[in-house]
Amino acid sequence: MSTRVAIVTGSNKGIGLAIVRALCKQFQGDVYITARDVGRGQEAVKSLASEGLKAMFHQLDINDLNSITTAAAYFKEKYGGVDILVNNAGIAFKVADETPFAVQAEVTLKTNFFATRDMLTHFLPIIKVGGRVVNVSSLASPRTLNQCSPALQQRFRSEDITEDELVGLMQQFVDQTKTGEYKQSGWPEAAYGVSKTGLTTLSMILARRLSKERPNDGILLNACCPGWVRTDMAGPKAPKSPDEGAVTPVYLALLPPGATEPHGKFVSDKQVQPW
Ligand code: NAP
């Protein structure tokens, strides 16, 4: 049997690095730090080595389709696919940032929704039997869902929303922040929140598709919130350490062989949350 492999996006620091640290301790196989910047990624490998942990490294900028396809080809060739994929890479503008809202919307959705979707498009076909896919979303996703119009909420909660429809809605939000029409269409003023509402909904769509198209492969795919965690994104006042923030993503990544749930859920503090 080929060596098992786990990969975590955006894992040169923050929650992603803590997820790699935990997987190095608990997962029987190779664990990859991936980062858009090779230097920052290799520094992170060194920092774990100083703790006695052996992580490997591959460059991966989720905003660069060529980087995604190169990485997917590498893991397919070297390991026959991927056992654990954690889509952790994400961005958020600071509350005080004065960048125009339309720019914040475009840039935030580009990474958190569209680029994460590109990752899933290219990596889901190589997820191995029994694989685990974890999308690091946020409690901002159900909160923002509840701030959308009833019509949008109905679509995000429906079982028949397609990936194309969701992509169209996310693009509509971005486009309408430029024309100022987004509020009339039922969207709240929340770029990060909408990006994560999109990611959680996408997770549910793709989980349903996996159940339908690969019913016997035992793959579990979920979205989660790590909690409010002290990182460069959330700042020093957050209550959880990065290692504490890694607990729920790692729990989902290591759901035992043969488990059938959770699947297609939004999970926080290891509990399935209402959507
Ligand atoms: P962070 O410390 O800012 O780390 C974000 C990581 O994502 C960095 O490694 C960053 O790389 C990477 N990244 C950004 N864009 C990327 C790209 N295009 N390709 C590859 N990597 C990219 O943030 P964090 O708090 O650890 O956040 C991790 C995840 O948890 C995010 O998805 C975030 O939305 C989510 N989250 C965090 C909190 C919280 O309280 N911290 C709460 C809820 C959800 P660089 O170093 O190169 O920038």
* Chain segment 38-60, per-residue pLDDT in tens: 999 999 999 999 999 999 999 99
Ligand 1 pocket by C-beta < 6 Å: which residues?
9-10, 12-16, 35-37, 40, 61-63, 88-92, 111, 115, 136, 138, 225-226, 228-229, 231-234, 238
Instruction: With H, G, I as helix, E, B as strand and everything else as coil, classify residue 137.
Output: coil
Q: Give the total residue count for the chain.
A: 275
CA-angle at 147, arms to 248 and 172, nearest 5°: 95
Q: Count the Cβ atoms, other than its own, within 10 Å of residue 14.
A: 22
Active site residues: 192
């690969």: which residue's tokens? 214
- Which whole number is the average pLDDT over 84-111? 98
What tokens does 33 get? 């730090």
CA-angle at 197, arms to 156 and 236, nearest 5°: 160
Q: How far is the CA of 15 from the centre of ligand 1 (A)?
A: 7
- 43 and 19 Cβ atoms separated by less than 8 Å: no
Q: How far is the CA of 216 from the centre of ligand 1 (A)?
A: 33
pLDDT digits (tens, 9 = 90+) for 92-105: 999 999 999 999 99
pLDDT digits (tens, 9 = 90+) for 194-203: 999 999 999 9
Closest residue by Cα to residue 219 from 232, 227, 210:
210
The pTM assigned to this predicted structure is: 0.99
Instruction: Specify the pLDDT at position 207.
Output: 98
Q: Count the Cβ atoms, other than its own, within 10 Å of residue 184.
A: 10
**Contacts of residue 180, Cβ cutoff 8 Å, sequence gap at least 6:** none
